[in-house]
Structure 1
Amino acid sequence: MGRHKAIVLTVSMLAGAMLGARQADAQTFQTYRCADGTQFILGFYDHDKRAFVQIGGQPVTLAKRLAVSGMRYSGAGVTLRIPKTGPATVKHLKRPVTACAVVDKPGI
């Protein structure tokens, strides 16, 4: 099994376990690559306001936070902003904020 598929499978299983999600729940996964070389997978489930991220090899659940424009999520030292226009940004650990873009979905 390829590394990407294994990561997606791990995120899916962890997020499903955390949510108690039924198989019928719709889900969205996106892979991001950032200017500083950071890569992460972001997952959303219908009827759940949280975001699920696999960053630095660790799964993190991010709570939705108040944002003036777009969406903002944070938790466990990770802050993710997805504005209505412009690139998404992520700040994790003690690294500076970095711009990120969605990578085209590979064939899974």
Structure 2
Amino acid sequence: MNRKIVVALGAVLSAAPLAASAETFQTYVCADGSQFVAAFYPQDPRHAHLQIDGRAVALTKRVALSGSRYTGHGVTLKISKTGTTIARGKRPVATCTIQ
């Protein structure tokens, strides 16, 4: 009986840190009419995970003079104090806001 309690308590305690680390999801709407969802996970600070154009894309964080810049799979996401922009393939750069 004591062993079952210890195992159950261990399972609860090991799951507690996972619940404490919350991810951030943000929905963006862009000037060109497109929209996307960006997810930022504390355990993966080098990536931004996007749901855009019906597909999931993981962008890698790159060096930026100000703010944050993420690139990958033909997508570039820039987030700064002055605003957010996204560039996809040959499309023009679009300014986006959080919905």
TM over 0.5: yes
Amino acid at match of 2:22: A
Matches within 5 A, 1:15-34: 23-24=18-19, 25-34=21-30
2:60 aligned partner:
63
The alignment-based identity, stated in percent, is 51
Aligned-partner Cα distance in 2 for 1:73–1:97: 14
Report the TM-score, using the length of structure 1 for normalisation: 0.71
Structure 2 residue runs of 5 or longer lacking an equivalent are: 1-16
- From the two aligned structures, give the one with the greater strand fraction: 2
**Alignment equivalent of 1:43, drawn from 39, 46, 60:** 39
Matches within 5 A, 1:76-87: 76-83=73-80, 85-87=81-83
SS of the counterpart of 1:64? strand
Structure 1 residue runs of 5 or longer lacking an equivalent are: 1-21, 104-108
Q: Which has the larger radius of gyration?
A: 2
Question: Deviation digits for residues 56-92 of structure 1, max 9, x if unmatched?
Answer: 0110000000000000000000000001x21200001
**RMSD of aligned alpha carbons:** 1.3
2:72 aligned partner:
75
Moved over 4 A (4+): none
